[in-house]
Amino acid sequence: MELLDGKKVKLEILEDLKKELSNYERKLGLVVIEVGDDPASLVYVGQKAKMASELDYNFNHIKLDENVSEEEILKIIDELNNDDMVDGILVQMPLPKHLDAKKIQNSIDPYKDVDGLSDVNAGKLMHGVDTLIPCTPYGVMDILKYYNIDVEGKHVVIVGRSDLVGKPLASLMTNNNATVTVCHSKTKDLIKHTKEADILIAAVGKKGLITGDMIKENAVVIDVGINRVDGKLYGDVDFETAKEKVSFITPVPGGVGQMTVAELAKNVVKAYTLRKDNR
C-alpha cells in the first residue's frame, strides 16, 4: 500500500506556479466573498488568503453580514465582473438560507468563476471544452497524474453525485477515457458496484461509509470525505480496514483536502489566461 500524499503534490504545484507567475506583467487578483460567520468558512478563507499571499496575488476578502440581501451581493459581483484587475471571484459556501446559491454562482462571469460551479462551466466540462473546473475534482485528477495512475480504460466508481465533486469528476473521468459508474443514496447494492472499481472515489460526507470488504483487491482509493467528529477528521473510507486491500490510498487529513487550495491557485492563472485569450 502506498499513501497518495496531497501535501507533497500541493507544494510542487505552488512552487511551479510561483515560477510561472514571475513572468507575468501584473499581479493577479482574487476576491473571496464570505457571508455570515460560519466557523468552517473562516478556516477555508484563511487558507485561501495564505495561498494568495504565498503567490503574491492581490487578495480581497469581502465579508458581508448574514442578513445581506441577494441584490446587494449581485451588485458587488457585477462590479467585480467589470473590474479588469480581478481575475477570480469566489463565493464561499455555504450561504444563509435566504440566498439563492445557484443564482449567485451563475452571476459570476464564467471566465472569473474560479470555483467552476456556474452552469456555463459545468456545461463546457461535460462537452470536453477547456474551462475552469471545480477545485476538488481537479485535485483528484492531479494526485492521480502525479503518481502515474492512468485512468484510461479503468473502471472508476464514484460514490456521491454532488455538483461540487461527484458530477464534475464523472465528466473529467469520462473525458479521460475511463469507464464511470456513479453511485448515490438511491443506489441498490452499493457493495456490488464498489467491489468492481479499479479506482474507487468516496465523496459523500459520511464517516467510514466504505469499509475494506467493499473494496476490490489492489484498487486505488481516493477519499474525498472530510468529517469532523469529536474534534478529529475522518474520511468516508474506513482507513484501517481499507489499507489491507488497496494499492494506493489518500489519507484524511493530508490527501485530497490539501489539493483544493492548490487547484484554486491554478484556476486563478487559468481564469486570467482564458479571459485574455477570449477577448
Q: Rounded CA gap, 167 and 8, in Å? A: 26
Task: Tell me the C-alpha distance between 46 and 118, whole Å.
Answer: 24
Active-site residue, 50 included: no
Catalytic residue among 10, 48, 124, 167: 48
Query: How many Cα atoms within 13 Å fall on the side-chain side of residue 8?
Result: 9
Residue 227, Cβ density class (10 Å: 0-12 exposed, 13-18 middle, ≥19 buried): middle
Residue 21 · residue 55 · CB < 8 Å: yes
Say how far apart CA 279 and CA 275 lie, in whole Å. 6
| Gap between the Cα atoms of 132 and 126, Å rounded | 12
Q: What angle do CA 166, 170, 171 make, to 5 degrees?
A: 125
206 is catalytic: no
Sign of the Cα pseudo-torsion (141, 144, 148, 154, in order): negative
Catalytic residue among 87, 92, 105, 207: 92
Active site residue 115: yes
Q: What ranges make up the beta strands (E) of 54-112?
A: 58-64, 88-91
User: Which of 93, 131, 104, 63 lies closest to 271, judged by CA?
Assistant: 131
Residue 234: helix, strand or coil by DSSP? strand
Amino acid at 12: E
Catalytic, out of 87, 115, 223, 236: 115
Provide φ and ψ at 113, rounded to 5°. Answer: -80, 80
- A 10 A CB-CB count for 79 gives 10
Catalytic residues: 48, 92, 115
